[in-house]
Amino acid sequence: MRCIVHTGERKGEFQKLERYWGGKEVATPPFFFCFHTANGRLNFSMKRAAEALPNPAARAGEYREELWKYDVAEFFLTGLLSGSYLEFNLAANGAWWAAGFTQPRVPLKDFKAQDLQVRTEGQMRRDEWECGVSVSLTALEHYGWWGEDCESCLCACAVLVRNGEFRYLTTSPVQEGEADFHRPWDWETIQLVP
């Protein structure tokens, strides 16, 4: 599934993330996600019509590791020429975590999460949630993940944890073997839509 990035002031339409890793359909309500750019920022939103179970220690808007051990929305971004990529985790309440990598799970030494100039939001109700993040396009360009001469690839993902069981969802077209989001060679080139 190609990640569409809407440009302009309007948020754009949400896309459906409806299959678990390996192709099995989600039996419970699907996840919906949206990417758009506006005012020099890349914005990512995800929502679902079900209860969210984020990391109980995470607070809205704070940087927090290990969000992926609970329900979390994620996206990965790479610029094909840079060879490195960004992983961004976002809890339903707006807590966040980000890391840069030179190759799968090898940290990018000069990456500083605060360079992204992150703004988050999260709304949780008993039977629905929506979260969003906005990051600086200038910062993404600095790391070679975005720009006019940069062919960028995106992957939207989610982790759903229930009773100790992890379920993984991704837009990556290749989903063979054990679930692993860190596969930049499988992510789709973005499609910009005005």
Q: What is the pLDDT along the chain (194 residues), one digit of tens a residue?
A: 678 999 987 788 999 998 899 888 887 799 999 999 999 999 999 999 999 999 999 999 999 999 999 999 999 999 999 999 999 999 999 999 999 999 999 999 999 999 999 999 999 999 999 999 999 999 999 999 999 888 999 999 999 999 999 999 999 988 889 999 999 999 999 999 98
pTM of the model: 0.96
Q: How many CB atoms lie within 10 A of CB 109?
A: 7
Cβ–Cβ under 8 Å, residues 3 and 36: no
Domains of the chain (ranges; CATH) run: 4-193 (2.60.40.1190)
Which CA distances in Å does 35 have to 23, 43, 107, 165, 180? 23, 6, 25, 28, 22
Pairing of strands 191-193, 4-7: parallel
Distance CA 68, CA 58 (A): 11
